[in-house]
Amino acid sequence: MIPAIRIAGVTKRFRSLQALAGVDLEVAQGEFFGLLGPNGAGKTTLISSLAGLARPDSGTLEVMGHDVVKDYRAARLALGVVPQELVFDPFFSVREMLRIQSGYFGIRNNDDWIDEILHHLDLTGKAGANMRMLSGGMKRRALVAQALVHRPPVIVLDEPTAGVDVELRQGLWQFIRKLNQDGHTIVLTTHYLEEAETLCGRIAMLKAGRVVALDTTANLLQRFASHTLRVSLEEAITLAGPLAGKLLKTEGSTLEFGFDAFDEVADLLAGVRTCGGKVVDMVLGKPDMEQVFVGIMNQN
């Protein structure tokens, strides 16, 4: 089976800035794939290149086997992109905007699908509202609807929940999960790392235009993150020896340690007491994607 997305040796430079420095990546059909990285890592440039909005200096990009340069029309028809920026036409209602977007792809009389999208994105009541009258969160959901209106097999979501409240975010992810279960390939970029951890089966991390980590979510958590022990003390203490090496961070009289096996917890608490600390509260934490992300980004 051909990959949903294939990226091979892609480079892109903007004058002195090397935005992409040889990206190689494949996303299988039906995956829920995460693309993470700090600001300026090259995520949006890569998505823009995939959508044909930017021309790479070298390398190839394919969507469902279609080269985004040589076979642009077929590649674009197979791809739906939710941009990070709130870009919209202020002169049309939500429904009119979706009908016009359908027309760009040669699709007519698809009001039933438009109604379904509006329902799942909680936009039915705003179908007749002008786009410029919507709140930021509503505009964001309208852009999601716009990306889905031609039923693309591959959907790229670039920070789709930025500015969306918690309740609406949950509704959006419920709909996106359903699309993924129905066979759509989803590629997500987000700064909400807990979303990537919960939703994505595999994750790639970009740094300075290069892929610096690529694995299943479970493997990344196992390899790069540890359990945590957070202890609150009556007063601050000074740590010494091996115990100091386990310390992740300090906030006043609160210490946070990392550990791999639960057998280590007793030793950590004993070490704190040996250093004169009196524990008044403690919390055990599971490995999370934030630890993974920070650890990988801090590697040389």
Which of these, 49, 4, 9, lies nearest to 28 by C-alpha position? 4
Place of tokens 């740590």: 239
CATH number at residue 30: 3.40.50.300
Q: Which residues contact 60 (CB under 8 A, 6 or more apart)?
A: 6, 7, 8, 9, 10, 67, 69
Domain containing residue 282: 227-287
Same-domain check for residues 212 and 241: no
Q: Please state, in angstroms and rounded to a whole number, the distance separating the CA atoms of residues 74 and 85.
A: 25
Q: Which of 179, 198, 222 is the last residue of a domain?
A: 222
Would residue 300 count as lying in a domain? Answer: no
- For residue 121, the model assigns a pLDDT of 86
| pLDDT tens sequence for the chain (300 residues) | 899 999 999 999 998 999 999 999 999 999 999 999 998 899 999 999 999 999 999 999 999 999 999 999 999 999 999 887 777 778 899 999 999 999 988 898 899 999 999 998 889 999 999 988 888 788 888 888 999 999 999 999 988 877 667 777 787 888 889 999 999 999 999 888 888 999 999 999 999 999 999 999 999 988 877 788 999 998 888 887 788 888 888 888 999 888 877 888 898 998 899 888 899 999 988 778 888 888 888 875
Would residue 296 count as lying in a domain? Answer: no
Same-domain check for residues 195 and 264: no
Q: Please state, in angstroms and rounded to a whole number, the distance separating the CA atoms of residues 232 and 236.
A: 9
Q: Exposure pattern of 227-242 as b/e (b: 16+ CB <10 Å)?
A: bbbbbebeeebebeee
Same-domain check for residues 250 and 196: no
Would residue 297 count as lying in a domain? Answer: no
Strand order in the sheet with 247-251: 247-251, 254-259, 227-233, 279-285
Would residue 298 count as lying in a domain? Answer: no
Same-domain check for residues 104 and 30: yes
Same-domain check for residues 210 and 266: no
Please provide the DSSP assignment of 278-300 as one string.
-EEEEEEE---HHHHHHHHHT--
- For residue 163, the model assigns a pLDDT of 67
- For residue 224, the model assigns a pLDDT of 76
- For residue 241, the model assigns a pLDDT of 79
Same-domain check for residues 282 and 204: no
Same-domain check for residues 48 and 145: yes
Same-domain check for residues 192 and 264: no
Same-domain check for residues 153 and 232: no
Distances (CA, A) of 131 to 91, 97, 167, 192, 263: 7, 8, 21, 26, 57
Counted domains in the chain: 2
Q: Which residues contact 244 (CB under 8 A, 6 or more apart)?
A: none
Same-domain check for residues 45 and 193: yes
Would residue 79 count as lying in a domain? Answer: yes
Q: Which of 222, 246, 269 is the last residue of a domain?
A: 222
Q: Please state, in angstroms and rounded to a whole number, the distance separating the CA atoms of residues 134 and 138.
A: 6
Would residue 65 count as lying in a domain? Answer: yes
Q: Which of 167, 192, 222 is the last residue of a domain?
A: 222
Would residue 93 count as lying in a domain? Answer: yes
SS3 per-residue string spanning 196-224: HHHHCCEEEEEECCEEEEEEEHHHHHHHH
Same-domain check for residues 75 and 215: yes
Same-domain check for residues 118 and 99: yes
Q: In this structure, are strands 66-67 and 58-63 parallel, antiparallel, or unpaired?
A: antiparallel
Q: Which residues contact 110 (CB under 8 A, 6 or more apart)?
A: 102, 149
- For residue 258, the model assigns a pLDDT of 83
- For residue 83, the model assigns a pLDDT of 84
For the record, the structure tokens of 71 come out as: 């076979």
Would residue 236 count as lying in a domain? Answer: yes
Using a 10 angstrom Cβ sphere, with 0-12 exposed, 13-18 middle and 19 or more buried, the burial of residue 67 is middle
Using a 10 angstrom Cβ sphere, with 0-12 exposed, 13-18 middle and 19 or more buried, the burial of residue 255 is buried
User: What kind and span of H or E run contains 95?
Assistant: helix 94-104
Strand order in the sheet with 202-207: 79-82, 154-158, 185-189, 32-36, 202-207, 210-216
